[in-house]
A and B are shown apart, each in its own frame.
Chain A
Amino acid sequence: MTVTATAVHPYPKTLHPIHATLLAGTVPLFLGALLSDLAYWSSYQVEWANFASWLIAGGLVFSGLALLCALAGLFRSRGGERRPIYFLLLVAVWILGFINALVHARDAWAAMPTGLVLSIIVTLLAIAATGVGLSRRVGVVA
């Protein structure tokens, strides 16, 4: 009996360009927030906290839309090849990012140090989600 290994591609190997753009935009936005937080931390210049707030808001928009794409992908794919880890990472990014937005809404230094810690975590999670999401799939080995 001969087993023939056939690579079947029931879905494109890479993310849709729009999905990819949304996902790729997430890291620079949350990273920008983290850098702004570091600037506020070291300078006490409150304008940096404002920058961080808007960057986080942008990060939430991008990661939120990417999350919707990922959710759609979960249902579209057959056999669960789209690893749910990508989806779960994005969920974590968005929830912690949202909490971070609320923390940053506190006035002046009340956002610190929690805001900085959350920015670090969210940025790392966003990098992980992007790495998993954009890595080339091996395809389905039947």
Chain B
Amino acid sequence: MKTANAFTALACSMVLLSACDSNDPDPAQYGPNPALPDMETRLLPAMTIAEPVPWGDRQPTVPQNYTVTAIATDLKIPRQTLVLPNGDILVAEGRGGNAPALQPKDVIAGYIKARGTTSVESGDRLTLLRDKDGDGLYEEQTVFAEDLDAPYGLAFFEGKLYVANQDELVRFDYEDGQTRASGPPAKVADLPSAINHHWTKALTISPDGRFLYVGIGSNSNITERGMVAEVDRAMVWQVDAETGAHKPYATGLRNPTALAIQPVTGQLWAVVNERDEIGPNLVPDYLTSVREGGFYGWPYSYWGSNVDPRVRPQDPEKVASAIAPDYSLGSHVAALGLAFSMPVMGEQFAEGVFVGEHGSWNRKEPVGYKVVFVPFRDGRPAGDPIDFVTGFRDDDGKTRGRPVGVTVDPRGALIVADDLSNTVWRVAPVK
């Protein structure tokens, strides 16, 4: 009892330091007009870091009449996946970033956050998975290409496989049925890689194969590495697949971690991770269609024209021009995967997008740690997200997996890369 009192006293003395309001519940900040509370700054950040434990006998939870299978394990940090025309699956594996610690805080935060991720060494490779007999089990696993540099985004068009390394966009020639690249890749374009605070380079390709779209994250949370470090950052590039020439396609997107082309319309969509350290319910990560030439706020403002006072010098003109995104996924969920669904995924999940949410660190009550489905109607998001794969983080506070990339296999399955347990999951409707 005495000890408990002492702890209470200690906790209360910490109130001074952390303004420790204990409830930052998930406010269901979904849709086009999320509630945006006032900014909060505190002396000690609210943090809950994932406590990794093995899956053991457990599995992720999927809707009734769906099955989930681990189709590859013991990978080296799987991030994004791609389904090839013959049904083979490519997995990009690796860990990037070379941002030095700038402040004492970076040293401490780096140590704390690393506890919530895998300790496996970066694969820097593509692994190919093959299901020879079509039973949904991928019995063949080969290394398709290695010696890459933190490969992340993958795209394919007519015999050309594009891979976005953390520093360059490369191309492999691909023939149907290949299990190993026939040689080293050819460079398409250099990508901004100095510091690489947000190192992941998301990738997708236009339906005609002419243009690649590359998501390039900011080099800081909110310009704390200086404005110079943000040249060519926090934007989506359009890269000519033939010549490698690039131009900024849309800007002010803090960390566009996954890109996808909407079927039929050919519209580019992105999920974007927004800024931290201004409260548990700011700023919502979002899903948005990406307008050519559009500016989405970072760093000067968030969700349209809400000014972020941490940025100096400020830029009222940019703030006035900032576009509000289409759909809030909730603050700090860390959306890292995006895939448009198909009717083959089942009636309830026929039209919409799947979003892989890696899960939060910068709030007390964790959010994310699941794959959600955002239903669409008439080509636009309509309705709240529906849980599709959960159980990555349990009520006991332990975390068994963290979803990253999601890919729809046209044969009727969702492929989910899990970079904590180094597993690729396949979720399919029961036939």
Contacts and interface: CB of A to CB of B under 8 A. Distances in A.
Contacts of B277: 106-107, 110
A53 B109 CA distance: 15
Interface residues of B, number: 23
Contact of B103 (A99, A103, A105, A109): A105
B224 A107 contact: yes
A18 interface: no
B310 A107 contact: yes
A107 to B, nearest CB: 4
B311 A54 contact: no
A108 B224 contact: yes
A82 to B, nearest CB: 28
Majority secondary structure, A binding face: helix
Interface in B302-356: 309-313
Contact of B311 (A47, A57, A99, A108): A108
Interface string A18-49: 00000000000000000000000000111101
A102 interface: yes
| Number of chain A interface residues as a range | 20 to 34
A54 B102 CA distance: 9
A99 B310 contact: no
Nearest to B314: A109
Interface string A95-114: 00001011111111110000
A109 B313 CA distance: 10
A44 B311 CA distance: 9
B63 interface: no
B113 to A, nearest CB: 14
A101 B104 CA distance: 9
Contacts of B309: 109-110
Interface string A45-70: 11101100110010000000000000
Nearest to B16: A99
Nearest to A103: B43
Nearest to B44: A102
Nearest to B108: A105
B289 interface: no
Contacts of A101: 104
A44, A53, A103, A105 interface centre (most CB from chain B within 10 Å): A105
Interface in B264-303: 277-278
Nearest to B102: A50
Contacts of B312: 44, 108-109
Most buried by B among A44, A101, A106: A106
A95 B262 CA distance: 55
A46 B224 contact: yes
B311 A109 contact: yes
A105 B105 contact: yes
B253 interface: no
A99 B311 CA distance: 22
B104 A46 contact: no
Contacts of A99: 17, 43
14 contacts: A44-B313, A47-B226, A53-B103, A53-B104, A99-B43, A105-B103, A106-B41, A106-B310, A107-B220, A107-B310, A108-B223, A108-B310, A109-B312, A110-B41
Given A99-B17, A105-B103, A110-B309, 11 more contacts: A44-B312, A46-B224, A53-B105, A104-B103, A105-B104, A106-B310, A107-B223, A109-B310, A109-B311, A109-B312, A110-B41
Interface of A: 44-47, 49-50, 53-54, 57, 99, 101-110
Minimum-distance CB pairs A-B, first 5: A105-B105, A107-B224, A102-B43, A44-B312, A53-B103
